[in-house]
Amino acid sequence: MNIEPIFLVGAGGHGKVVLDALLRAGTSPDRIVVSSDRVSTESMELLGIRVRYPAIQSAAGTGLFHVAIGSRAVRRRLSLS
């Protein structure tokens, strides 16, 4: 059983869809970390999970990552960083 945390980067519409899919697939909400770089999300919850602000910057190598940002150009830039 995989218990690594899942870091979901992006708390907009696309992030909500990805989070919903994770939850419906049976992923425990305790494993999911949602982050955003928008200050407007600082005290926001997405499907019951608190959004972390600022976005996670130093968690590389500690879990699974999914860049859930709708803009293809931004998603590509972040995925290749």
Q: Give pLDDT, residue 46.
A: 93
Q: Give pLDDT, residue 54.
A: 73
| Dihedral pair phi/psi, residue 17, rounded to 5° | -65, -45
Q: In the chain, which stretches have pLDDT less than 50?
A: none
Q: Give pLDDT, residue 38.
A: 80
What pTM did the predictor assign? 0.81
Q: Give pLDDT, residue 75.
A: 79
Give the Cβ contact number of residue 12 at 10 Å. 15
Q: Give pLDDT, residue 72.
A: 87
